[in-house]
Chain A
């Protein structure tokens, strides 16, 4: 393999990993609070379409990004009355949210299909970009890619080092004990859903504004579900989401690179790779991940509960 191929693949890997990364980072916060939002796919679609529409209308990708993040946060809020107050089945509610997101984004996004957009362009970091090999891979990316590592650290700090994070994790482990200790479980979980939706909205915005530079119905193509799997893969640690996302991004980017070079591998088989890899990795890491699963989630994940 030529250096050009490896360089292109690695640079593509980082870019392709960003939407999965942001979505999984947000979902990590949600799941640490003891909830699961299986509808991240829908939240990403809402973020992708709304940010694309606003950018297309105003010409400002930053305004688009803000809209996508806000829309994602509000959209996730739909889950709050269902799973918190009415204690409805979380997995089914998440899928209903996916349906709603798919429908809303298709409906409102229709007039923006094929619209031109001035999205997030590559912002080369001066000086660093000239480093041979590493420069083009690491330092010729768009702004949202540069924010990946800081975001992971920020969320880690929030969860591990702040009072809010401690309370949130306590709620995720045992809602009743946390309540007895004086926290407000519902309020914390609503905040977790908001933060999770915000990141999923950013993930969608990156997909439509920096990767695709366009909007089509169903743009996310299952990335939301990969993100949910990635949270398990990362054992609910915000810092581990980053390498995990790169792994999945690598599988996505490999297919694009090989296809661009006319490799003799079926594109359909390559397309299966990220999904199959996710499955295999989840099975291989089952032991370490189960030990780290927030106690509150086990209820959802292990029904019917046998021994």
Chain B
């Protein structure tokens, strides 16, 4: 029988330290709200009531979780190699553009068994394409990927604007810039309400990334390079090839986030359809320490806060970006390693081991 206790200790430490960070962030966020004359308790009541205490709100958490799973993986996978991919937002947009172009080219009358795989493939291609230039520049050692992916986010948004206001615009929509509806052959089926099959795809992607990272030679080598690139290279690991590989894979994953949004939620391509899912995915990945399973948990948490943020606008008249303050505060605590969970974990595991030793 395997001993479950070390796993429980790890889980306990992580929960405890994350919980402490959230509490401190809540206190600080309350102060911010109070300085503007808002009652923090009303705000929190509205945040919780509109998400956990409300059937529709609760399902909206999962609707937002779907793109976040993809965009967080798009950050986490390169991060395990030591790269900072901040281009999720751009990759998401170009992925959606790729899927939209495919859908509009093939027309609305394709069977669903063609529409879904084609949109998935083109979404991934679009996202990967947007990561290609930063990946290549980084692999050649010419330009840091953080800067290039950031700059390309702004270009990607304009690119989508250009197509939606120009060549892909629905001539029938007088004042609204948008494409025509893709048609029934392209719409990703729903599971419950607005929750769609993207959730299954996202969970599958999570599992695949987890298995690749933890159980394959690729994953081992990625983690080895992430640990000490110079040593790994001396052992003959192809650093440049891995840089291109993880960034393209990340771009493809982010592309799926955008594809799901337009194929399952919007049904057509509109400008600025993503409420910064790319940047939120960055938050999720860093909060989760780039570990796939934790991405699921932290993704749910960030999706909850973001869903609550949307309703803050309606209920309290606060801009939805207000919750960015709260999320940034939690991220600061995690980045600062405030409660030193690694050290705590080590100490508790050692105590566990000592007791074992005494008993034997």
Task: Give the contact stretch, choosing among B53-61, B200-208, B314-322.
Answer: B314-322
Residues of chain A lying within 8 A (CB to CB) of residue B225: 304
**Is A74 an interface residue, CB under 8 A from the partner?**
no
Contacts A91-B146, A102-B324; A110 near B319 (Cβ below 8 A)? yes
Cross-chain contact B83 with A304 (CB below 8 angstroms): yes
Which residues of A from 91 to 123 have beta carbons under 8 Å from B? 91-93, 95-97, 99-100, 102-104, 106-108, 110
Which residues of B from 288 to 344 have beta carbons under 8 Å from A? 318-319, 321-329, 331-332, 335-338
Residues of chain B lying within 8 A (CB to CB) of residue A275: 151-152, 154-155
Q: B324 is contacted by which of A91, A100, A271, A276 (Cβ under 8 Å)? A: A100
**Is A38 an interface residue, CB under 8 A from the partner?**
yes
Residues of chain B lying within 8 A (CB to CB) of residue A286: 142-143
Q: A278 is contacted by which of B81, B151, B326 (Cβ under 8 Å)? A: B151
Cross-chain contact A88 with B328 (CB below 8 angstroms): no
Q: A103 is contacted by which of B142, B321, B337 (Cβ under 8 Å)? A: B321
Cross-chain contact B321 with A304 (CB below 8 angstroms): no
**Is A176 an interface residue, CB under 8 A from the partner?**
no
**Is A288 an interface residue, CB under 8 A from the partner?**
no
Residues of chain A lying within 8 A (CB to CB) of residue B214: none
Interface size range on A against B = 35 or more
Residues of chain B lying within 8 A (CB to CB) of residue A97: 328
Task: Give the contact stretch, choosing among A21-29, A183-191, A224-232.
Answer: A224-232
Contacts A102-B321, A307-B233; A93 near B32 (Cβ below 8 A)? no
**Is B40 an interface residue, CB under 8 A from the partner?**
no
| Interface 1/0 per residue, A238-275 and B, CB below 8 Å | 00000000000000000000000000001011011001
Residues of chain A lying within 8 A (CB to CB) of residue B155: 272, 275-276
Which residues of B from 124 to 154 have beta carbons under 8 Å from A? 133, 137, 141-144, 146-148, 150-154
B315 to chain A, nearest CB (A): 15
Cross-chain contact A306 with B233 (CB below 8 angstroms): yes
**Is A129 an interface residue, CB under 8 A from the partner?**
no
Which residues of B from 33 to 84 have beta carbons under 8 Å from A? 36, 81-84
Residues of chain A lying within 8 A (CB to CB) of residue B159: 268, 272
Interface size range on B against A = 35 or more
In the bound complex, CA of A273 to CA of B86 (Å): 20
Residues of chain B lying within 8 A (CB to CB) of residue A89: 84, 335
Residues of chain A lying within 8 A (CB to CB) of residue B162: 266, 268-269
Task: Give the contact stretch, choosing among B110-118, B183-191, B279-287.
Answer: B279-287
B186 to chain A, nearest CB (A): 25
**Is B166 an interface residue, CB under 8 A from the partner?**
yes
Q: A229 is contacted by which of B36, B151, B226, B323 (Cβ under 8 Å)? A: B151
Residues of chain B lying within 8 A (CB to CB) of residue A131: none
Cross-chain contact B81 with A304 (CB below 8 angstroms): yes
Residues of chain A lying within 8 A (CB to CB) of residue B133: 279
List chain B positions with a Cβ less than 8 A from chain A: 32, 36, 81-84, 86, 133, 137, 141-144, 146-148, 150-155, 158-159, 161-162, 165-166, 225-226, 229-230, 233, 239-240, 243, 279, 282-283, 286, 318-319, 321-329, 331-332, 335-338
List chain A positions with a Cβ less than 8 A from chain B: 38, 78, 81-82, 86, 88-89, 91-93, 95-97, 99-100, 102-104, 106-108, 110, 217, 221-222, 225-226, 228-229, 232, 266, 268-269, 271-272, 275-276, 278-279, 282-283, 286, 301-307
- Chosen A-B contacts, 25 in total, with CB atoms closer than 8 Å, are A38-B150, A86-B335, A86-B336, A86-B338, A88-B335, A95-B86, A95-B279, A96-B283, A96-B328, A96-B331, A100-B328, A102-B321, A102-B324, A106-B324, A107-B36, A107-B321, A222-B154, A225-B150, A229-B151, A266-B165, A279-B148, A304-B81, A304-B239, A304-B243, A305-B230
